[in-house]
Structure 1
């Protein structure tokens, strides 16, 4: 289970954990969160990598983290992802999350092996950090719940794609909807399945006009 081992090793405080959600989906933003606990004794019980928690557990922990921690959220939408590429958009979202903290962090623990170039403080990368650091685990939950809620809202705006269930990931039902309906405005055109679906829709439209 995650603990404060990495946070305690840091000479500088406060130390925030940083993680993201939404690198892989075909639609919607990539969302990052930065979290630190001013009083580590008040951390919620059960914090862990968001991927191993149920929806109900994440929602409960989200509320408890918000009550006990300092939180910053940053994101890049589908347009920025297409402009920057998903790697640089993710790094930008992480830097924005740290900058959005109401209290400035002195050091950041970053999940993964990449350091955001625009980060406003020194940092350390930790592969699998969301399962090792309490702060990163908390950030993974904030990022995941925030993004899921956005995609549930988008499901009502763009019905027929199933955003509320798959959150934009490229599952078979989502790809089938893309082929049938074409991309929505929030789809990432730089991702191959979206680009192929859009080209197919354009070709079908051109064929229809020609006959």
Structure 2
């Protein structure tokens, strides 16, 4: 049975201690969302785990409890920022904004991953922290639920791409819709699949020409009649009437 995350890695860090995680680095569309949270070790909901390991209903239930019993903040980096500074730095930007949104300055910050943002605060990166550290796991739940809700809302503005279920990830159905409908303003053009499809859509569309078999045409040779030229006995042949071919 897999070991659940705990406070074990957090022991020894001064309080208040914030956990930080992000959701939405890999999708082809939508923002990247980060969350920061400061848990009360004496009062927190049971069952906190990496959001990827939790069913939708459990994530939603834990989210509802966490926002009531903890200090938390959310940071967002937009699609424009992702395309401008790349997804790595957009992720760092979202995490920085999440900590700033806490409203209080944590004594230490534990970040999921192998790198911390370039901020002037004590912090430590923990690889797979969302599966090991309870505070980071709680942040992953806040970030995931927040972004999922955003994508459901955005699906109403840009229907046909399936964001209400795929959350912007590059599923086969999403990529098929991209090819058929083209990218939206919320697709990440710095991502290769979107960039390739946009290039195809940017090419001029040639008119469709219907090819008709030659045997379907009837032969209509032009009919000629003689027309004398004044002052000569010569004749030239001129069409008696125009013909369409």
What TM-score bracket applies, with the shorter chain setting the length? over 0.9
1:210 shift after superposition: 9.9
Any residues of structure 2 matched to 1:29-108 within 5 Å, and which? 29-37=31-39, 39-108=40-109
1:41 shift after superposition: 1.7
Given that 1:98 and 1:120 are in contact with CA atoms closer than 8 Å, whether structure 2 keeps it comes out as no
C-alpha distance in 1 between matches for 2:69 and 2:9 = 19
The correspondence for 1:208, drawn from 206, 209, 213, is: 206
Question: Taking structure 2 as the reference length, what is the TM-score of the superposition?
Answer: 0.82
| Alignment deviations for residues 186-210 of structure 1 (CA, whole Å, 9 cap, x no partner) | 000100111111111111xx12379
Q: Larger relative CO (CA 8 A, sep 6+): 1 or 2?
A: 1
In the other structure, the counterpart of 2:135 is: 135
The RMSD of aligned alpha carbons is 1.3
1:29 shift after superposition: 0.3
| Alignment deviations for residues 16-71 of structure 1 (CA, whole Å, 9 cap, x no partner) | 0000000000000000000011x312110000000000010000000100011100
In the other structure, the counterpart of 1:23 is: 25
Q: What secondary structure sits across from 1:13 in the alignment?
A: coil
In the other structure, the counterpart of 1:2 is: 5
Given that 1:28 and 1:186 are in contact with CA atoms closer than 8 Å, whether structure 2 keeps it comes out as yes
1:5 shift after superposition: 1.5
Structure 2 unaligned regions, length at least 5: 210-245
Q: What secondary structure sits across from 1:18 in the alignment?
A: strand
1:7 shift after superposition: 2.0
Moved over 4 A (4+): none
Pick which of 140-149 and 98-107 moved more: 98-107
Distance 1:146 1:120, change over 3 A: farther
Q: What secondary structure sits across from 2:36 in the alignment?
A: strand
C-alpha distance in 2 between matches for 1:188 and 1:98 = 25
Q: What secondary structure sits across from 1:83 in the alignment?
A: helix
Structure 1 unaligned regions, length at least 5: none
1:121 shift after superposition: 1.7
